[in-house]
Structure 1
Amino acid sequence: MKLQADTPQPTSIIAYGEGWLQLPEHRYEQSVLLTSDGEHHVWACSSFEALTQQQMADLAVVARSAQVVLLGSGKRTRFPPAAWLRPFMAMQVGLESMDTAAACRTFNVLAGEGRKVVAALIVER
């Protein structure tokens, strides 16, 4: 039984590996922000250790209309400081932190269901 769409959505993650991820028409070798609305662009965060409170606040602005934000924290699951999550709580937008591979898979499932989701994916080498 075929469970996959004939043509992937523009922001579907069709492949990923160490140091890269592939959308249908674009390959990223650096961190990226994706939305289920079709937006995708480079995210200026080279590693989880380089993540700042301001970047999280900026992410909250991007996610203002999302139901959930997925933070792909790199090769392993890590969590930002609780104080950095205040903008998400104020907007009543959930933020889930997981390793980037899991965030890629979760993004595809949620976006495929028509959910409004934002993924901030840290791509590490």
Structure 2
Amino acid sequence: MKLQADNQPTLNTVSAYGVNFIEINAVRYESSLLLMPEGPVLDWGCASFEELKPANFQEIADKKPALVILGSGKKIKFPKPELIAPLIQAKIGIETMDLQAACRTYNVLMAEGRNVLAALIIEK
């Protein structure tokens, strides 16, 4: 699905998504990633929800977002509390949704100027 262009070209915006990819500012990505409104798009070392470890969430906590949107893949899957313990300890909120809903929600929050981080699992 292609998304409507935004008037904030300097911010990282999801411009399109599909089953196995995401486009950010018209650049295509086919592996899991971390995305914040500003800065580089970062590779997130997990190919599936089942591969997630607390260290993956510590990596997120270290970036100090106010809110994390977890795109759990094609279907919504909720992480166990022990996985997201680094976020809980840092008092960082987390919302989980499927990948496509996560992309849309990230764009809305980013456009509002929120300190949001999207952790997006792109399944092969």
| TM-score interval for Structure 1 and Structure 2 normalised by the shorter chain | 0.7 to 0.9
Residue 4 of structure 1 and its aligned partner are, at CA, apart by 5.7
- Whether 2:30 is the aligned partner of 1:29: answer yes
* Residue-by-residue CA offset, 1:4-38 (whole Å, 9 max, x unaligned): 63454441000000110001142101111101223
SS of the residue 1:22 aligns to: strand
The RMSD of aligned alpha carbons is 1.8
SS of the residue 1:69 aligns to: strand
SS of the residue 2:62 aligns to: helix
Contact 2:32 2:121 in 1 (8 A): yes
> TM-score, normalized by length of structure 2?
0.88
Give the structure with the higher percent helix: 1
* Residue-by-residue CA offset, 1:36-82 (whole Å, 9 max, x unaligned): 223312111101011112212222212x1x11001100001111111
1:45-60 to 2 correspondences below 5 Å: 45-60=46-61
**1:105 match:** 104
> TM-score, normalized by length of structure 1?
0.87
Structure 2: gaps spanning 5 or more residues: none
- Report percent identity of matched pairs: 40
Contact 2:54 2:86 in 1 (8 A): no
Contact 2:5 2:15 in 1 (8 A): no
Structure 1: gaps spanning 5 or more residues: none
Contact 1:46 1:123 in 2 (8 A): yes
**1:94 match:** 93
